[in-house]
Amino acid sequence: MLQATFRDLSFQGRSFVRWREELPTIVGLTAIIGFVIFDLVSALLEPADWTVSLGVRMHRLAGGSYWVDPQSLGRVMRAVIISAANNCILAIALVLIVFFWEKRPLTSIGLRMPRSGDVLPALGILVAIYLIGFIGNSLGSIPNPKAFPIFYALPWVVRLWMLSVLVCEEIMFRGYFIERVEKLTGKTWVAAILSCMLFGLAHASGWGFSYILVVAAVGAAYATLYVWRRNLPACMVVHFVTDTPLIWMPLSPLFWLPHPH
């Protein structure tokens, strides 16, 4: 009887120690999930067309270009800056959790120098992402193509700030989420699938629910590259190459972007 009691106490002690060790990871994952839930709630409460909720005034000019009201553009700038800042705050918080609370190296979330072996896989994933974008555009998955002329009208500094989001997304949804869920569950495929789902849902606000599947498919490509190479900077480079044309008109390939109507 006494022996059994000691065994129970020993088991409870080990469980408590393990729970305490995993607490930082649980906090980090909860923060990511909470971030996505907040985005979903925003998507449900706001109009599907974010240009309406921000009161953007724009007119089509001859030749297919657009004039955007400067005051409207100011509201877009504030929304973009705040949104990007929220992403950066969460990404920085996760890095701090890894380094100071979990006391693990940053390589534990894939932050290591790219290797020559990462080049071909990255190129393959890049082609896959552009194919996904082409198919999604053909199916009309982007509900508001007029968002792109608004992005093109933003100052280049603001557009650079928008690109900082891709670094944050890779830290959140690939480096941290996949590594930590894989550690907790012991299953890589579970971590990868959940990562894709959350990545898609995180884009509901601003882009609409019809765009979720396309973003989740793109997230699957990023997750494949990460699981394959375990190199976060390689994912960031691919993400940069795919996102830059979306907000920099001279670089926009015709087969990727929808034409505003």
When pLDDT is averaged across residues 136-161 and rounded to a whole number, the result is: 77
Alpha-carbon distances, residue 188 vs 23, 88, 117, 179, 196 (angstroms): 20, 26, 21, 8, 12
pLDDT-based confidence at residue 8 (cuts at 50, 70, 90): low
Question: What's the distance, Cα to Cα, between the start and end of the chain in Å?
Answer: 78
Output the CA torsion sign for 235, 144, 213, 53.
positive
pTM for this prediction: 0.87
| Contacts for 161 with CB less than 8 Å, ≥ 6 apart | 80, 81, 84
* Average model confidence (pLDDT) across the chain: 84
Cβ-contact 80, 154 below 8 angstroms: yes
Contact 96, 27 (CB under 8 A): no
Say yes or no to pLDDT of 29 above 90: yes
Separation of CA 84 from chain center = 11
Confidence of residue 254 (pLDDT cuts 50, 70, 90): very low
Mean pLDDT of 49-69: 75
Question: How many percent of the chain have pLDDT more than 70?
Answer: 83
Phi, psi of 67 (to 5 degrees): -105, 130
pLDDT tens for residues 185-216? 999 999 999 999 999 999 888 777 878 888 89
Q: Is the pLDDT of residue 255 over 70?
A: no
Among 30-34, 67-71, 136-140, top mean pLDDT goes to 30-34
pLDDT at 50: 76
Residue 2 has pLDDT above 80, yes or no: no
